[in-house]
Amino acid sequence: MTDTLTTWGGWAPAIRDDPFGHFAAAGARCPVQKARLADGHPAWVVLGYDAARQALTDPRISKDMLAALQDNGDVVAEGLPGPEFSRHMLNVNPPDHTRLRRLVSRAFVPGRIAALEPAIRAIAGSLLDELEAAGPGATVDLIEGYAYPLPFGVIGELLGIPAADRPRLHAWFQVLLSGWAGDPPPAAVEASAGIVAYLGELADAKRQSPADDLVSVLVAAGDEALTTQELLSSLFQLVVAGHDTTASLIGNGVVALLDHPGQLQALLADPGQLRAAIDELIRFTAPVPHATFRVTAGPVTLGGVEIPPHDQVLVCLGSANRDPGRFPAPDVLDIGRRDGPNLGFGHGIHYCLGAPLARLEAKVAFQALLGRHPRLRLAAGRDALAWAHGDGLVLRGLVSLPVVLGPGPRQG
């Protein structure tokens, strides 16, 4: 047990860009430690596989952050875009969690996900066409031109957001997810108001003319099934959870493969390894390095440390997935690794609902990109890359990824 208050998050660029050594050193000191977050709030940080897995399933650790805020003003305050968007499945406990997850799950049944594959391929293909128009020797930004718009287009298809509206919505979300210290800047307040208004109008439009999409399904379920606040919160959470995470996996994954040319060659030689490679890239690059915040509903002993009631808990998935007790040689990227599931998509009742969709998107994204550009390379030095997202807690993705696509496989 440690009495010293560790600082967690708000790291200097060197740690933010490569946090794994920092996670390992902290985990070696103690798997559960009280920390102060970059915004000043206290939280118990949970490190290592066993403690993380327990924290994600322990019923005494609650996800009802709104109730927690009333019990203890010291938990992280709900950020933008405000209470309209805070009652979704990731912020509630059963039975509300069970009800909301069941409703949204209707869009995630295997047949519906598989049916999206041609649309995902079409989006990936047209994004690559646009990037290729710059010429084989040109530098293009793979984040802005591929990793972001691909999952954003897919979540747009799933929800039924008209294609013409997506650029506007995408721009707002980019502002909102760019991260900042202290009070939100005016641009974020404006983006937030834009999203609130847009999603409300979208729900109204689907009420008038329903279509074969998730917004129509949720609207049709009616007020008895979910309140307007729950409906808007769920839509907001799906857009956030559905694009930034996958964009980070694509960007981080490309960098990891370019950093490990032997692994890239192994994948190119045997594309059948792609499914396993994607899970290994999630483990190794931590697109979601921490789970979302939780709070103790009663006293909980975790990793030998007693956490008092009403305290905030932050589970470090990036540390769990590099635990040497669970993954031998954890700092080695090995697409042939068969060590069983990692915690990159979480665990327990809040396990990522979108995991099958994320895996499908990543499969199509890597197949299309590497199939057309097997000799893709970084345009600038490796040191020029920088990871974004403010405090670096819940998301870990690149600001930009300048690459030269090079000639396609047939030309050279």
Where along the sequence are the contacts to ligand HEM (CB under 6 A)? 89-90, 101, 155, 238, 241-242, 245-246, 249, 282, 287-288, 291-292, 317, 344-346, 350, 352-354, 357-358
- Closest CB to ligand HEM belongs to which residue? 354
User: Taking the complex as a whole, how short is the minimal distance between the CB of residue 386 and ligand HEM, in angstroms?
Assistant: 20
Distance (Å, rounded) from C-alpha 252 to C-alpha 262?
17
Euclidean distance between the first and final Cα of the chain, in Å? 59
Q: Least distance (Å) from ligand HEM to the CB of residue 93?
A: 10
Distance, C-alpha 188 to centroid of its chain: 20
The residues with which 33 forms a beta bridge, in sequence order, are 45
Q: How far is the CB of 246 from ligand HEM (least distance, A)?
A: 4
Cα maximum dimension of the chain: 64
| Short-list 50, 79, 62, 90, CA closest to 316 | 50
Burial 268-286 (b: 16+ CB within 10 A, else e): eeeeebbeebbbbbbbbbb
CB of 337 to ligand HEM, least distance (A): 17
Q: For the CB of residue 100, give the shortest distance to ligand HEM in the complex, in Å.
A: 8
Beta bridge partners of 301: 306
Nearer to ligand HEM, 27 or 287 (CB): 287
- Quote the least distance from Cβ 410 to ligand HEM, whole Å: 31
Least Å distance between CB 229 and ligand HEM?
16
In the bound state with ligand HEM, the residue whose beta carbon lies nearer, of 287 and 404, is: 287
Nearer to ligand HEM, 395 or 404 (CB): 395
Measured from the CB of residue 56, what is the shortest distance to ligand HEM in angstroms? 6
Two tokens at 342? 């990692």
CB of 23 to ligand HEM, least distance (A): 15
